[in-house]
Structure 1
Amino acid sequence: MNLYLIGYRCTGKTTVGRSLTERLGWPLVDTDRVIADTAGMSIDRMVVSYGWPFFRRREYEVLSRVSAGDHQVVATGGGIVLDERNRLTMKTTGKVVWLTASETCIRTRMLADAATDDNRPPLTGRGLLEEIETVLAERTPLYESTADLAIATDRVRIEEICDRIVEDLGIVNR
């Protein structure tokens, strides 16, 4: 069984993933990092050069390979739920945790993260807060239908989030 972390940008998937790997002794796989590393370019550059459909195909390929493993914490990209095949893969090969945060919290985190420009290309031609609201409205039903557990990460310590994931999903170290 793998543990998949889904959710919008800056909801804590990678941060929570790192903490869970320490607690569980499972490796962390960050799908966006794997995509960028294997392509030899940032996600932003990939999207600008080849477009979102190219990136989404790479995302599907990476998840297909990663999901063949076991006892991994997988921090996914925010749009991984857009492909039905990805949703099915995660549901059938592990447990899925949806990390949420308010639009304001997401915006604040994005602006504070120096890696935002390379790792988070614009999704729409709108301003940041409007983009967050629009994309969340589109993706929320997909996150909801995929998740086994949803956790709000606003003003909650990472340790508390990890406690809840481990306890609510009954995960034990191997």
Structure 2
Amino acid sequence: MNIVLIGMRGVGKTNIARRVCFLTKRPVMSTDVLVEYEVGLPIPELVAQQGWPAFREAEYHVLRKLTTMDGLIIDAGGGIVVDLDDQGREVFSERKVDLLKANGRIVFLSGDVERLATKVAGDPRRPTLDSRTSAVDLMRSRLPFYERAADWTIDVEGKQRSDIADDIAARYT
């Protein structure tokens, strides 16, 4: 069984995944890092050159490979629970969530949207969002998707990342 961490940009998925990895001795895999490896471009460049649909498709192909493995900690990108419809709007991704659930437990790390939006603003490692959509609006629109996908939700506000990782490791090992 894999442990899959989902949540908004900046919520602490990577930090917590590394701590869970240390505690459980399971390898951690980042979907974003694997996408960059697969396509040979940093995500911001991929999105700028080929668009969000190309990124979401690359993400799906990475998941197809990852979910054939067992015993991983999966640090999922912030949009792992979405795909794009014909008009380019985000919709819940049945195909990606089904892959993750087939051999994993999904932990939604929830945090204050306003704080997270401020935290990730201007981070050059993250692709820019569609100019029509503010980070706050995007995060709020994804909340129901995260909640729908989650087997367990943890509110990270006011908690130490190490304590959250300890709870996850205790529950799933």
Distance 1:132 1:165 in 2: 27
Matched, 1:30 2:37: no
The AA in structure 2 aligned to 1:163 is D
Alignment correspondent of 1:92? 102
Q: Which residue of 1 aligns with 2:47?
A: 47
2:160 alignment partner in structure 1: 157
Aligned residues: 163
Give yes or no for the alignment of 1:21 onto 2:21.
Answer: yes
CA-based RMSD: 1.6
One-letter amino acid of the counterpart of residue 124, structure 2: D
Report whether the alignment pairs 1:117 with 2:124: yes
Gaps of 5+ in 2: 83-92
- Mapped to 2, the partners of 1:109 and 1:24 lie a distance apart of 29
Give the unaligned 5+ runs of structure 1.
none
Matches within 5 A, 1:97-108: 97-108=107-118
Residue matched to 1:73: 73
Match for 2:22: what amino acid?
E
Deviations 1:38-84 (A, max 9, x none): 22211000000000000000000001100110010000111110122
Structure with the higher fraction of residues in helix conformation: 1
Deviation string 1:150-170 (CA, Å, 9 cap, x unpaired) is 112223111210122233xx3
Distance 2:140 2:13 in 1: 19
Q: Could you list the per-position Cα deviations for residues 118-157 of structure 1 after superposition, in whole angstroms to 9, with x for gaps in the alignment?
A: 3x2122215xxx7222112221111001101111222311
How far, CA to CA, are the matches of 2:53 and 2:14 in structure 1? Answer: 23
Structure 1 contact 105–154 (Cα < 8 Å) conserved:
no
Once residues 131 and 3 of structure 1 are traced to their aligned partners in structure 2, the CA distance between those partners, rounded to angstroms, is 30
1:64 is paired with a residue whose SS is helix
Hey, what's the Cα distance between the residues in 1 that align with 2:103 and 2:19? 21
2:146 corresponds to 1:143: yes
| Cα displacement (A) at 1:107 | 2.7
1:58 aligns with 2:48: no
How far, CA to CA, are the matches of 2:134 and 2:78 in structure 1?
13
Of Structure 1 and Structure 2, the greater strand share is in: 2
Q: Which runs of 4+ in 1 moved over 4 A?
A: none
